Every structure is written in structure tokens, then in C-alpha cells.
Amino acid sequence: MIGRRPRAVVEEFDEDVAAHLELAELEFRQQGCSEEEARRRARLQFGNLRVIRDDVRDAAGWPRLEALWLDVRTAVHRVRLDASTSLVAGLLLAVAVALASTMFTVADALLLRPAPFRSPETLMRVSVGPATRPSNPNLGVDTLRALREAPGLEHLHVAAQQPLTFTDGDLDVHVAGALVTPEVFDDFGVTPIRGRTFSAADPSTVTDDVVVISETLWRTRFGARADIIGSTIDLPGSRVTVLGVVPQWFVFPTSRTQVWRPLDLDAPDGAATRPRGTSWAYARVSATVPPEAAQAAMTRSLVAGGSDATTRVALRPITTTNIDPYSVGIIRLTSGGVALVFLLLCSNAAALLLTRMRRRRRLMALCATLGAPRYRLLRQAFVEQTVIASLGVVCGTGLTYALVHVVRAWLPQSLSFTSLNVLDVDGRTLAVAALLGSGAVMLCGMVPAWFGRRAYAAPQRALNVGSDTERVAGHAPTMLIVAQTSLALLLCVGAAVQWTSLAHLLAASRGIDVDRLVTFDLTVPTDQSGGADVVATSLAERAATHPDVERASTSFGALPRAGSLYFADVSSDDPDRPPVSLVINSYQVTPDFYRTYGIRLLSGRVSTPADGPDAIVLGRSLARQIWGREDVSGRAFRFEDGRTFTVTGVAADVLTPLLDPRQDEPEMYEPLPTSSGTGPSVLRHLTIRCRATCPDVQTLRRHVIEQAPGVRVSAGTHVRDEYEAGVDRPRAAAAVAAGFAVVGTLGAAAGLLVVLARAAASRQHEFGVRLALGATPASIAWFVRRTTLLMLVTSVLVSLALAWPLGRLLQRVQHETSIADPQAWLMSVAAVAAAAALATIRPARQAARAQPVTLLREP
Amino acid sequence: MSISDNEVPYGTLDLLILRTLQTMGALHGYGLARRIEQVSASTLRLSQGSIYPALVRLEKQGAIGTDWGTSETGRKVKVFSLTDSGRGQLERELRNWESAKALVARFLEAES
């Protein structure tokens, strides 16, 4: 019997009943009854067949499970009956979950999550500098050698960026590479997926002809070949062997690094394993040594190694060092915006469901009156909300993965470059967002059911409108909508401020004419006849022979990318002026550099190679910072390491419009050296100013290659594009803010539509009476619009009150604008008012078109 | 579940069915209902059909077994019989009934 389907049991019961009735009829006939009388008595004696059959079915089945299944079917049926509301509520929840999960995934990867290395809490980024600002992360070989002797360190890892170009068929492939000390992979806990990595214990793995590549490069460039280990890669002037492949989650020292070569601080100058310029250092501090003690020990080692006594070492946790304050501010603000939008969308979904369930309060009261137990009402409401919440969570999960994929592709490089964590969906965030959103939705759906079940005790009261509980519950959606509209207004104002800021950034003067300028990176072999720089300089002359080229120049460093960055304490030749700690963009240039870029010389003259390597041109703001004035031709200054410069002239500043003007470093221009330097090649930049319009960059590149066949030429970029890339973060922030504003406004409008429809429906009788007494449809429509107007005015007042704290938050991420911008407010109020007006159209029209007779006839 | 106005106290119908099957052996539904009527001397007004939900319940519990037989009129009919588990359940219910009866008797005696 156990496990038999109730239907089969009922079918057997029917057979039994037939036999039972037959026997009863036989007995009555034997007692003398007629056939008809016997049949009647038999059935009377048996009882109510229908009720008994139901009892048999209940006894054979699982009543609780069947009741639950019935509730589920009823809930699904109700969801389908009001599909539009269910769909809108589910989609609102989906968008809320997706936005919150995506934003936290980004914030977690960039700000919160420690680096994915072994014991990240003991891994510190090292920077050095004067006691007031030990912030220079770019360290020379001598400094690194001194630091590694400090007690309390398990390891001092060093990484030097090294762009690489290798040949893939007839294509030059440019990848970001790095020299790293051999212990990096073992100490960071990186297990190769193919082959092996560097090891200080195995000399064969730390030679200059081996490399480790990333899984991404292995898959995209080498087709995930199984025989990658031991294969060779052709670099300029050398050939290297692939030692191993590391997993794609390992990104170090930047997110773009894909090839690693071993670094040896003790290698002779010019060796491939010795860093040519500066490097970054990462200290693995012993677990038993506090970071402060390790920091002090490293400072002592540095000073003992010959550094100035005022030099200090600073250790910072590896996660947050690379993110600049502007990006941190933007991420935090965006996270706050997402949290508000999450609340708005969830409250909107909740308001929709609250209104829908309240429309059924009379039905629920009726069910309670007829005997439906309270738990059945609550269970049905619970199942109904669960169906909608599940729809939202499932769609939200899919949307999250899509959004993270989009963010991964569109995140400004200046942010993704600095992240050591891969951007992947965070399951915990998804679960929390789904739980919170679903909880809000289900709670609002359960409230009317809870009030409805109270009709069990007082059905006559629940069947009347206007009870105290009803009035309190009735104001909830209205208050929610006012809150949502205020939030939407604030989001619009914030977005308007961001766009205004971006417009100011784009329109700001750059100090040079960025149009018709194209830059190429040149890799010039040092074994060229006459020397690499002679070749590079003559290349500029030959490149200018193109009919579309006005002039060209060679340099090390091409605006806006500096050739070198100096972190220095600068002392002028004025004894009354104290030294100044500065970060300086340095360019090594030929005399025609200034004309090519259109940089105006304000005083003095340009420096030439005949003036010597220390005769320079200063930017105006740098001259002011060192001497307090601009007329400084012929003056001299020096760095703390003793290097002295003589100023031959002062040029106009080159500006990179940034939100924080303090981050726009001043410039100095040194003469391009005539020596070739060590190593097989040198990096130089060729800048071309075109005539009326620039030909296609590929055409220009071919022309340049033809002028110097032995020189490798990069793809080329327009200088204007590089400047615009510099505002990619403010542009992204403005786009995100605009997206939030749109979502917020649409969400508020949707919620307003629901509330107005409910308000209009609840006043139908009143409208019917008014129409019957002579009111015009226009005046009825005005009642509805008046509700909108009152809510809008209230929202504006609430927004104004909240504008001040928002303004303080936005202050750090806006350029030449503020939260008090009247234009931003006007536009935002207009946008929200327009959305509210659109939401009012339908309810007002429906109320105005109602027939008094119909309205008054309805209960 | 339909129970006549006179009423079989809730839960005792199972006891009556099990006891009848123990005494009479295997019976079909009509025979069971008629036997219960006869033993109660018609003082218990029980709609005959009301034993069928109880029979389904007892069969689900494993207290009774079923088989198909033929009625006096030649129609296929389900025949119910007591299982070993049913015998055990009957003994337990009899003990419970005796305990309840003794308790009520003591109470009435004390009150009088």
C-alpha cells in the first residue's frame, strides 16, 4: 500500500463500493424491499459517497504534501495571472542583485581582497624617500642591494618592468614582461601548470635565456601547445627558452605582465638579468617581526649602505599601494551609489508586490472567514513571493556574470593595470545580495497576508476598508516612493555633476596642440653605424620628407608619457630657499621637439647637445616651485644625489587635466644623449606633426620603417587619443553615474505608477460621486496629478537636505564644478519630473474616463 | 472523515475494525460494516461507507492486508485481514483502552 498512488486506491475503492452496494441491495431485497427501495436504502446506509471518496483519497495520499503542492500551483497561477507585475518585480530584483554583486566584485578585487599570494599579510611593497615623504617605489640597484641585507626579512623580491617584443611569424608581438628575483614564484605560492619556474637552488633556471610565460599568453599566442616547454621565442638580439607556464590568476607586478625573466641584482652592468633602470621591491617580512620593526631595520640598512641619513623606508600592504586616491574615491562612491540603487530597486519591487497583495486583502479575509487556516494564507503568500524572488535571483545571477564580463573588458586600464587580483564573480556577494533582495521582496509580500490572516479573528472588520492597520499600511508605499524619488533626484544630480566635470576635463587646455600628432616607439639597435641616437635623429629628418608630414622629432619620452620620473629633493642655487620634494616628468629631447609639439618657449633658449647633458629647459610651474619665479635662465639646481642642472630656458607648462591638479607633475627637458648606452638596443620615441590631416597610421609607419630598415617601429598612436585615455576614469565614472541615474529614475517612475494606480483605485467611489455631482473628467485627473506633484515637491526638499553630505563625497572626484551647480539641479528636477509626469498619464486618464454609474455600482 | 452522530469516539473505529478482523478473520468491507453493526446491536449509527477511509489508513500503516476475492453476488471484492503488525497494534490499543476505562471508572468512583 505504501507508495501507491491515491488515484489507484480510489479506483479500487470505487470497485469496492460497487460490490458493497450490491451486497446491501441483495440483503434489502431479501428483506422484502423492491429493487428500487433496496437500492435507495443501500445508498442511504452507505453514506455520502462523494465525501467518503474524498476521505479515502486523503487517507491514501499525503495531505500535507498535497496541500503544499496545491499552494504552489495556486501561487504559480496567481503569478501568471498578474504576469506583468511579477515580471517587473523579478527584473527589478535581478538588476539590483546584479549591480550589487558586480560592484562588490570590483571593489573586492581592487580594494579589499588581499593579493592572491601565500600569506599576503606579510608581503609589503617597499618605497623610499625623505622622512616627510618616503613614497618613491622606483628603486635603483644599489638601494636594493642595501635593503636586502636588512634583518627581519625572509625575502626581498624585486620586479622590474621590461616590455618585450617577439616575432610571431611576420608580426611583432609586444607584451608586458618583467624581470623578477627567482624566489618570487615559490614564495608567492605559485605552482606552474606546465614545466617549472625559477629557483635560486637550480642555476639552470636563472640564466638569461629562459623565460616563464603566463597561461593567457600560452593559450592566446601559442595555441595551448602541449610542447611549449623547451620551445624557443625570438627576442630582439636573443633567443630564449620557455621554462614553464604559470596559471592565469598570477598577475605580478602588474595585471598586464605575461612574460617573466630571472633578475639578478649582482649581475654585471649590461647583463640581461640585471635591471636597467629602477625596480619595485616587495619585502616578505618574518611573521614574528612587526612591520614597523622591519621598516626601521631596512632604514638602518639603507643608511648604512650609503644613503642620506634622512632617508626612510616605508612598507605598505601589497593590496592598496597601487591604487591612487582618486580611484579609491571613485570606487567607494560608486559602491555607495550601487548600495542606494540596490535599496531603491528592492524597495520598488517590494512596493509593487505589497500593492498587489493588498489588492487581495478582501479575498484573503474571505478565505479566513470561510475557514482557511492562517498558516495556509501565509504559506500561499510565501510561495508566491518565493517564485518571484527565485525568478529575480536566477536572472540576477546570469546578469552578474555578464556585467562582470563587461566590466573586465571596459574597466579603465589605469585601474585594472594596478590590480593583482583577477576580476571574477564573488559567490559570497552574490549570495548576500540575493538573500537581502529576496528577503525584502518576500517580506513585503507577506505583510498583507499577515494582516489578512488577522481577519480570522475579526472577519467583519477585515472586510471593511479604513481600519487603523489598513491606513498605516497604506502610507508605506507612498513613503517608499518619496524616498525613491529623492534618491533618483540625487543620483541625477550626481551624474550631472560628473558629466559637467568630465566636460571641463576634456575642454581644459593641455598647453600643446594635440591634433595631427602621431607617436611611434622605436627600438634602435646600439650597433647601428654612428650610434643609436644618431640613427634615431636622422630618422626624424627622413620621416619628415613624407608629403603629409610637417615636421618630426626624436626623444626619449613622448607626451603625455614621460621618459623618466624623478622623485627628488631639489635644492636651488638660492641659499635662502629650502629644498623642495618634487616628482618631475623628464623628457630627453632634440631641439626641434618643442616646435613639433607646439610648446612655447617663455624665456631663454632650448638646450643643445653642445651645452652638455645637464643643460635643461624647465616647465614654468617647475621653475616657480624651485625659485618662486619664472625668470630663471642661467640658474642652477641640484638633486640630493648631487646631480646638478643648469637652466637654459623656461617653457610653457604641458597640462594633463586631472581632477587633482597636484598629481599633474611638472616637466623638465634634457638633451637627448648622443651615446648609445649599454645593451643591445635603446628605446626612443618618434613624434610626427602632420600637415592638414594625418594619413593612416599604418601608412606613416611603413614610411618610417622604409627610412631605417634596422629599427623596429611600434604600431603608432595619436597623441590626442593618449590624452583622452587619461580621462578614462572620469569618463567611466560619469558613465556609471549616468547609468545609476537612469536606473534610479526609471525605478522611481515605475514605483510612482503603481502607487498612483492604487491611489486612484482606492478613490474610485469618491470619483464616482464627484462625477455624478458634476465634476469634470479634467478635475478628476487633476486629483491624480496633484498627488504626483506633492510627492515630487517632497522629494526635492528631501534631496536638498541630503545634497550637502553628497557634495562633500563628490568634492574629491569633480573638476571645476560642485554639487551646488544650479544647472545640474534644474536638469535633474526636469528629468525626474518628466518621468513622474509620464507615470501619471495612465492613472489620470483611467480615473478621468471612469463612468460614475459603473464606479458607484462596484462594491 | 465522516463519523455518525452517535458517535464512534475518534480513533476507536480502528480498534473496532482490528478487533472484528481478529475475531471473524478475513472479511470484505460490507461484511465488516455489518458485523460492527450487529455487535453494537444497532446502537452505534455508523454510515457503512465511513469504514473505508479507516481501512485505507490501516492498510497504509500495515496493520491489515488486502487481497481480492469474490463476493456472494460473484463480483470482485477486496478482502481485508489482520497482519502480525495489526495484531500488535490491536493489543496496544486494547491496553490503552483498558487503561482509559479504568481511569474514568476510578474518577467516577471517587467523585461519587
Q: What is the ipTM of this complex?
A: 0.87
The pLDDT value recorded for residue A680 is: 61
Say if residues A56 and A9 touch (Cβ distance below 8 Å). Answer: yes
Give the best-scoring range by mean pLDDT among A196-205, A671-680, A804-813, B52-61.
B52-61
Residue range A16-43: average pLDDT? 93
Burial of A565 (0-12, 13-18, 19+ CB in 10 A): middle
Of A735, A723, A809, nearest to A505 (Cα)?
A723
- Nine-digit cell at A156? 626581498
pLDDT band at A37 (very low <50, low <70, confident <90, very high): very high
pLDDT band at A191 (very low <50, low <70, confident <90, very high): very high
pLDDT band at A660 (very low <50, low <70, confident <90, very high): low
Of A722, A729, A684, nearest to A512 (Cα)?
A722
The pLDDT value recorded for residue B2 is: 43
The whole-angstrom separation of Cα A809 and Cα A811 is 6
Cβ within 8 Å, pair A47-B47: yes
Nearest to A19 among B49, B57, B77 (CB): B77
Residue range A533-545: average pLDDT? 81
The pLDDT value recorded for residue A507 is: 76
Say if residues A516 and A691 touch (Cβ distance below 8 Å). Answer: yes
Residue A708: Cβ within 10 Å count: 19
Nearest to A19 among B28, B33, B62 (CB): B28
The whole-angstrom separation of Cα A525 and Cα A445 is 73
Say if residues A121 and A318 touch (Cβ distance below 8 Å). Answer: no
Cβ within 8 Å, pair A59-B71: no
Tell me the one-letter amino acid at A28: F
Of A575, A538, A567, nearest to A554 (Cα)?
A538
By a Cβ cutoff of 8 Å, what residues of chain A touch chain B?
1-2, 9, 12-13, 15-20, 22-24, 26-27, 45-49, 51-52, 55-56, 58-60
Burial of A802 (0-12, 13-18, 19+ CB in 10 A): middle
By a Cβ cutoff of 8 Å, what residues of chain B touch chain A?
1-2, 28-31, 33-34, 47-50, 52-54, 56-57, 59-60, 62, 66, 71-73, 75-78
The whole-angstrom separation of Cα A666 and Cα A584 is 5
Say if residues A191 and A249 touch (Cβ distance below 8 Å). Answer: no
The whole-angstrom separation of Cα A504 and Cα A517 is 22
Identify the weakest region by mean pLDDT among A214-218, A425-429, A584-588, B88-92: A425-429
Q: Is the pLDDT of residue A307 over 60?
A: yes
**Mind listing the pLDDT tens digit for each residue in A57-73?**
888 888 788 888 888 88
The pLDDT value recorded for residue A187 is: 92
Residue of chain B minimizing CA distance to A44: B47
Please, what's the largest Cα pairwise distance for chain B? 56
Identify the weakest region by mean pLDDT among A89-93, A94-98, A329-333, A626-630: A329-333
Q: Is the pLDDT of residue B18 over 90?
A: yes
Residue B34: Cβ within 10 Å count: 17
Of A601, A557, A596, nearest to A691 (Cα)?
A596
Residue of chain B minimizing CA distance to A47: B47
Of A438, A462, A442, nearest to A374 (Cα)?
A462
Nearest to B1 among A13, A17, A55 (CB): A55
φ and ψ at A768, to 5 degrees? Answer: -60, -45
Of A275, A284, A298, nearest to A134 (Cα)?
A298
Q: How far is CA A320 from CA A22, A328, A524, A560, in A?
A: 89, 9, 37, 25
Contacts of residue A133, defined as CB under 8 A and 6 or more positions apart, other chains included, come to A581
The pLDDT value recorded for residue A811 is: 67
The pLDDT value recorded for residue A637 is: 92
- Which has more pLDDT, A417 or A336? A336
The pLDDT value recorded for residue A419 is: 62
Show residues of chain B in contact with A20, CB under 8 Å.
28-30, 33, 48-49, 77
Say if residues A173 and A715 touch (Cβ distance below 8 Å). Answer: no
**Mind listing the pLDDT tens digit for each residue in A326-381?**
667 777 777 777 887 787 788 777 777 777 776 777 777 787 788 877 787 788 88
- Residue A276 DSSP class: S
Nearest to A9 among B47, B56, B75 (CB): B56
Tell me the one-letter amino acid at A542: R
Question: How far from chain centre, in Å, is Cα A129?
Answer: 33
Please, what's the largest Cα pairwise distance for chain A? 143
Q: Is the pLDDT of residue A646 over 90?
A: yes
Is the alpha carbon torsion for A500, A503, A505, A511 positive or negative?
A: negative
Element housing A486 (H / E): helix A468-507
φ and ψ at A574, to 5 degrees? Answer: -95, 110
- Report how far apart the first and last C-alpha atoms of chain B are (Å, whole number): 36
The whole-angstrom separation of Cα A280 and Cα A420 is 14
Say if residues A348 and A136 touch (Cβ distance below 8 Å). Answer: no
The pLDDT value recorded for residue A462 is: 42
Cβ within 8 Å, pair A2-B60: yes
Percent of chain A with pLDDT over 90: 17
Structural domain of B96: 3-109
**Mind listing the pLDDT tens digit for each residue in A148-173?**
888 888 899 999 888 777 766 656 67
Cβ within 8 Å, pair B49-A20: yes
Of A339, A337, A355, A335, nearest to A437 (Cα)?
A339
Residue of chain A minimizing CA distance to B72: A23
Contacts of residue A737, defined as CB under 8 A and 6 or more positions apart, other chains included, come to A334, A337, A491, A494, A495, A498, A499
Cβ within 8 Å, pair B60-A49: no
Cβ within 8 Å, pair A51-B2: yes
pLDDT band at A829 (very low <50, low <70, confident <90, very high): confident
Identify the weakest region by mean pLDDT among A391-395, A694-698, A844-848: A844-848
Show residues of chain B in contact with A61, CB under 8 Å.
none
The whole-angstrom separation of Cα A3 and Cα A642 is 94
Judged by phi (left if over 0) then psi (alpha if -120 to 50, else beta), residue A779 lies in alpha
Residue of chain B minimizing CA distance to A45: B47
The pLDDT value recorded for residue A631 is: 82
pLDDT band at B3 (very low <50, low <70, confident <90, very high): very low
Which of A5, A14, A16 should be substituted to probe chain B, the one whose Cβ sees the most B Cβ atoms within 10 Å?
A16
Residue of chain A minimizing CA distance to B66: A1
* Angstroms from A14 CA to nearest CA on chain B: 10
Q: Is the pLDDT of residue B85 over 60?
A: yes
Residue A410: Cβ within 10 Å count: 11
Element housing A772 (H / E): helix A764-772
The pLDDT value recorded for residue B20 is: 93
Show residues of chain A in contact with B6, CB under 8 Å.
none
Show residues of chain A in contact with B73, CB under 8 Å.
19, 22-23, 26
Residue range A253-259: average pLDDT? 84
* Angstroms from A32 CA to nearest CA on chain B: 18
Q: Is the pLDDT of residue A501 over 70?
A: yes
pLDDT, mean over chain A: 81
Q: Is the pLDDT of residue B5 over 50?
A: no
The whole-angstrom separation of Cα A221 and Cα A242 is 13
Cβ within 8 Å, pair A18-B75: yes
Is the alpha carbon torsion for A271, A277, A278, A280 positive or negative?
A: negative
Cβ within 8 Å, pair A60-B60: yes
Show residues of chain B in contact with A60, CB under 8 Å.
56, 60
**Mind listing the pLDDT tens digit for each residue in A139-150?**
888 888 989 888
CATH code: domain of residue B70: 1.10.10.10
Contacts of residue A762, defined as CB under 8 A and 6 or more positions apart, other chains included, come to A465, A474
Using only C-alpha atoms, chain A has a radius of gyration, in whole angstroms, of 38
Grid-cell match 575642454, residue found: A507
Cα-Cα-Cα-Cα dihedral of A802, A807, A813, A818, to 10°?
A: 130
Nearest to A16 among B47, B52, B73 (CB): B52
- Nine-digit cell at A335? 559602491
The whole-angstrom separation of Cα A63 and Cα A78 is 22
The whole-angstrom separation of Cα A541 and Cα A36 is 124
3-class secondary-structure state, position A776: coil
φ and ψ at A113, to 5 degrees? Answer: -70, 135
Cβ within 8 Å, pair B75-A9: no
3-class secondary-structure state, position B9: coil
Residue range A82-96: average pLDDT? 83
Q: How far is CA A529 from CA A33, A426, A532, A536, A697, in A?
A: 133, 57, 8, 11, 28
Cβ within 8 Å, pair A2-B1: no
Residue range A415-439: average pLDDT? 76
Residue of chain A minimizing CA distance to B50: A52
Nearest to A52 among B2, B72, B75 (CB): B2
**Mind listing the pLDDT tens digit for each residue in A735-779?**
777 777 777 777 777 777 776 776 677 777 777 788 888 888 888
Bridge partners of A683? A523
Cβ within 8 Å, pair B72-A23: yes
Model-level pTM? 0.61
Identify the weakest region by mean pLDDT among A299-313, A355-369, A412-426, A761-775: A412-426
The pLDDT value recorded for residue B66 is: 92
Show residues of chain B in contact with A22, CB under 8 Å.
71, 73, 75
Of A398, A410, A484, A436, nearest to A741 (Cα)?
A484
Which of A2, A11, A17, A52 should be substituted to probe chain B, the one whose Cβ sees the most B Cβ atoms within 10 Å?
A52
Grid-cell match 556577494, residue found: A429
Contacts of residue A306, defined as CB under 8 A and 6 or more positions apart, other chains included, come to A142, A146
Say if residues A107 and A319 touch (Cβ distance below 8 Å). Answer: no
- Helix ranges (H only) for chain B are 12-24, 29-39, 51-61, 84-111
Structurally, chain B folds into a number of domains equal to: 1
Q: Is the pLDDT of residue A674 over 50?
A: yes
The pLDDT value recorded for residue A749 is: 75
Element housing A649 (H / E): strand A644-651
Cβ within 8 Å, pair B28-A15: no
The whole-angstrom separation of Cα A412 and Cα A699 is 29
Show residues of chain B in contact with A23, CB under 8 Å.
28, 30-31, 71-73
φ and ψ at A531, to 5 degrees? Answer: 100, 150
pLDDT band at B56 (very low <50, low <70, confident <90, very high): very high
